[in-house]
């Protein structure tokens, strides 16, 4: 039985382009995996504390030496890495912020990149064999050949960091020009139409 981990990032909730497209992905994945299970992780509803000394102590020392503060600090990290290990497929729906990723997604990544848990002590990824789809909503146009293509630091960073923990089968679905919706120049349906075939293919792969 396959398991999908769906990670939501945007604070816009019902008006979010990335959340709407992620919902489409999840529905298509369900159709292709009727016996599968889905883990939903909403980073806007998850307490993701910044990495501190207690977290570092807990992450880099044996469990039997952990203080109560260390145990508490790494609990969310333990929970998040367990979800990743349980998943066969992963989808992340996120907006682009300032050419990169939102702070809550960066904090999530800091919690799931763990030596001895998701990457070995020799820096070999431990989560091989999983597929990741990234749905990246951008206000401007960062598509191949567009003027701002090279400014898309989000895609390259996410590919690199998930590759570091062993997830190298990564597909990025770009949902660009979302500012057009806010300005009344287009609708979500019009924006999503050319993206949906790529999204459906990724969900059913």
Contact 66, 54 (CB under 8 A): no
Confirm whether residue 108 is marked as ligand binding: no
Identify whether 59 is part of a domain: no
Confirm whether residue 98 is marked as ligand binding: yes
Identify whether 65 is part of a domain: no
Identify whether 72 is part of a domain: no
Confirm whether residue 16 is marked as ligand binding: yes
Q: What is the pLDDT of residues 61-93, one digit of tens each?
A: 999 999 999 999 999 999 999 999 999 999 999
Identify whether 71 is part of a domain: no
Mean pLDDT confidence for 128-133: 98
Confirm whether residue 18 is marked as ligand binding: yes
Q: What is the pLDDT of residues 131-149, one digit of tens each?
A: 999 999 999 999 999 999 9
Identify whether 99 is part of a domain: yes
Beta bridge partners of 95: 137
Confidence (pLDDT) at 31: 98
Q: What is the CATH number of the domain that holds 43?
A: 3.40.50.360
Identify whether 174 is part of a domain: yes
3 state DSSP class of 202: helix
Identify whether 176 is part of a domain: yes
Confidence (pLDDT) at 89: 99
Confidence (pLDDT) at 3: 99
State the pairing for strand pair 89-95/3-8.
Answer: parallel
Confirm whether residue 99 is marked as ligand binding: yes
Confidence (pLDDT) at 194: 96
What range defines the domain where residue 178 resides? 3-48+87-204
* Total count of domains within the chain: 1
pTM to 2 decimal places: 0.96
Confirm whether residue 17 is marked as ligand binding: yes
The DSSP string of 61-121 is: S-GGG--HHHHHHHHHHHHHHHHHHH-SEEEEEEE-BTTB--HHHHHHHHHH--BTTTB-T
Identify whether 192 is part of a domain: yes
Which of 49, 24, 11, 10 is closest to 200 using CA atoms? 24
Q: What is the pLDDT of residues 29-61, one digit of tens each?
A: 999 999 999 999 999 999 999 999 999 999 999
CA dist 76 and 53 (Å) reads 15
């Amino acid at each position: 039985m396959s398991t999908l981990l769906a990670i939501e990032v945007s604070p816009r909730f019902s008006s979010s382009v990335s959340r709407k497209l992620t919902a489409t992905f999840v529905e298509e994945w369900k159709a292709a995996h009727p016996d599968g299970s889905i883990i939903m992780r909403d980073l806007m509803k998850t307490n993701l504390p910044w990495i501190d000394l207690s977290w570092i102590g807990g992450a880099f020392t044996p469990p039997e030496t952990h203080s109560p503060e260390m145990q508490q600090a790494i609990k969310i990290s333990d929970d998040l890495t367990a979800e990743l290990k349980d998943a066969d497929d992963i989808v992340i729906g996120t907006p682009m912020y300032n050419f990169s990723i939102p702070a809550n997604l960066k904090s999530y990544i800091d919690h799931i990149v763990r030596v001895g848990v998701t990457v070995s002590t020799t820096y070999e990824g431990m989560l091989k064999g999983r597929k990741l789809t990234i749905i990246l909503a951008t206000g401007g146009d960062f598509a191949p050949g567009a003027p701002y293509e090279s400014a898309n630091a989000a895609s390259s960073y996410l590919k690199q960091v998930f590759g570091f923990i062993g997830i190298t089968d990564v597909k990025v679905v770009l949902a660009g020009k979302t500012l057009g919706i806010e300005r009344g120049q287009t609708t979500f349906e019009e924006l999503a139409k050319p993206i949906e075939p790529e999204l459906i293919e990724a969900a059913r792969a």
